[in-house]
Amino acid sequence: MLSLVIFFPLVAAIPLFFFRPEWRRTYWVYGTFVTLLELLFSIALLMGFDFSRTAEFQFVERYVFFGLQNAPYYVGIDGLALILILLTTFLTFLGIVSSYNYIKEKVQAYVITMLLLETAMIGVFASLNVIQFFIFWEAQLIPMFVLIALWGHENRVYAAFKFLIYTAVGSVPMLAAIIWIYLNYGTFDYPTLLQTLPKAAVDIQKLLFLAFSVGFMIKVPMFPFHTWLPDAHVEAPTAGSVILAGILLKMGTFGFLRYSLPLFPDGFEAYRGLIAILAIIGIIYGGLMAWVQSDMKKLVAYSSVAHMGFAMLGIASGNPIGIQGAVLVMISHGLTTGALFFLVGMLYERRHTRLIRDYSGIANRVPNLSTFFVFMALASIGLPGLSGFVGEFLTMIGAYKANPVWGYLAVPGVVVAAIYMLSLVKRVVFGQLDPESAKMPDVSFREALILVSLAIFVIWIGVYPMPFLSFTDKVAGILVNLLH
């Protein structure tokens, strides 16, 4: 079943090569059907998952091909991987649905690229073989590069290459570390390495931790490795920005929780103070940079730096509350920031501008779109009762329990977030309606379906987060036990 979830989008992309170019509508119908079926497959995983054993790997498959005993095909998921796979299939489906009226050229290639990207992303979360994980990790760079370079905006080629170079360079030390591990331990199996690597000498753990973590820090992205993110977000098409923020950034935090922390606990312990400091800098710096932006999409992009800073601060706390909070921040950020990118894309398609100064008083013309805009902005800044509050609250409690100074230093980030997001809402939504916005249509049924589906989960997590915390409660406990 797990292999079906991983490779179904890849296999389903093959028939698209034989469709005729003029069948534009057929591509969208087919892409929607495939991604919806993939979402249903992932829900089947959820229905068959044993929540009494969330820290154990389930749906495990291990096959040896071509006599490669030490490098088998090996997949399985725990609660952490499952919730991220569900987020991936959900946002990919919405990304395809949102692109109907926005992607006018190379529709065949666009749908194929989205399906290939989905397979690569799910493969990252499901792999239990470190070299297999690395292959999927690198494979997702190609379709995302293509999405930005072919369907992005004016400086799309520059942004695509910057994204590719940053993330590829960060993967080099990770590959070197994987090779070293194989030469010294003779296996790529993650469960086996989980029993042996934590017993390695502290100096070796420190080096291996750094080798793995550089790539993860770039992907998160943490300060000062974040500079590729605003360019990639601004130039990417709407669905590309949603997947980049909603899923690809989570691969960095997933990497810390799956590899850096459990495999090298002594290395993590040695550098967790540095990680916390960089996370706090990212929270404040990302918020301040978002505050001064004139482009809505770049503002939301810098807000991602701040939000992911909270996730990394929760991980650095090294306690169950902080780690649980970090996972909720990851999920909430995927939903709220994804929704904000959808909303900015909707405004751009109506007005062909993302500059904040070009908008005013849109609530007078498009009340439904404005309602969703205000709602998601409030969720993003952590209004109690919505998803953003729960995760950030838990991460700050976890940070305070680990080191009170970390908790105090993170608080201004919440204040700055409220300033830049409420300022954006005031300037765009309220005030006197500008003449150009007077011609805009309100949200269509398809757009409302996307936004309502995201809003349901935003409210659910904010009001009753326990079902989402149950995915990783035992995982967090095991990670903490490894540290202590």
Of 118-127, 130-139, 307-316, 472-481, the least confident: 472-481
Question: Mean pLDDT, the chain, as a whole number?
Answer: 89
Contacts of 48 by beta carbon, 8 Å cutoff, 6+ apart: 1, 59
DSSP secondary structure string for all residues of 238-302: HHHHHHIIIIIHHHHHHHIIIIIHHH-HHHHHHHHHHHHHHHHHHHHHHHHHHHT-SBHHHHHHH
Closest Cα partner for 251 from 52, 405, 117? 117
Q: What is the pLDDT of residue 349?
A: 86
Number of H helices, E strands in the chain: 22, 2
pTM (two decimals): 0.93
Instruction: Give the separation between CA 101 and CA 103, rounded to whole angstroms.
Output: 6
Residue 227 pairs in a beta bridge with none
Structural contact between residues 278 and 312, judged by C-beta atoms closer than 8 angstroms: yes
Q: How far apart are CA 167 and CA 221, in angstroms?
A: 10
Tell me what percent of the residues of the chain surpass a pLDDT of 70.
98
Supply angle C-alpha 313, 462, 57, rounded to 5. 65
Q: Which of 17-21, 215-219, 282-286 has the lowest average pLDDT?
A: 17-21
pLDDT at 434 over 70: yes
pLDDT band at 67 (very low <50, low <70, confident <90, very high): low
The mean per-residue pLDDT over the stretch 227-252 comes to 88
Residue 345: CB atoms within 10 A of its CB come to 24
Q: What is the pLDDT of residue 136?
A: 93
| Residue 256 CA to its chain's centroid (Å) | 14
pLDDT at 200 over 90: no
pLDDT for 231? 87
Neighbouring-strand partners of residue 58: 77
| 3: confidence class by pLDDT, cuts 50, 70, 90 | very high
For the cut 80, the answer to whether the pLDDT of residue 375 exceeds it is: yes
Whether the pLDDT of residue 396 is over 80: the answer is: yes
- pLDDT tens digits, 153-170: 888 899 899 988 888 888
**Torsion angle of alpha carbons 406, 408, 409, 412, nearest 10°?**
140
| pLDDT at 135 exceeding the cut of 80 | yes
- State CA 397 to chain mean position distance: 23
Q: Where are the domains of the chain?
A: 2-483
Q: Both tokens of residue 299?
A: 């503002």
pLDDT band for 482, please (50, 70, 90 cuts): confident
The pLDDT tens digits of the residues spanning 71-130 come to: 788 899 999 999 999 999 999 999 999 888 788 888 888 999 999 999 999 999 999 999
Query: Which of 68-82, 199-213, 283-297, 364-378 comes out lowest in average pLDDT?
Result: 68-82
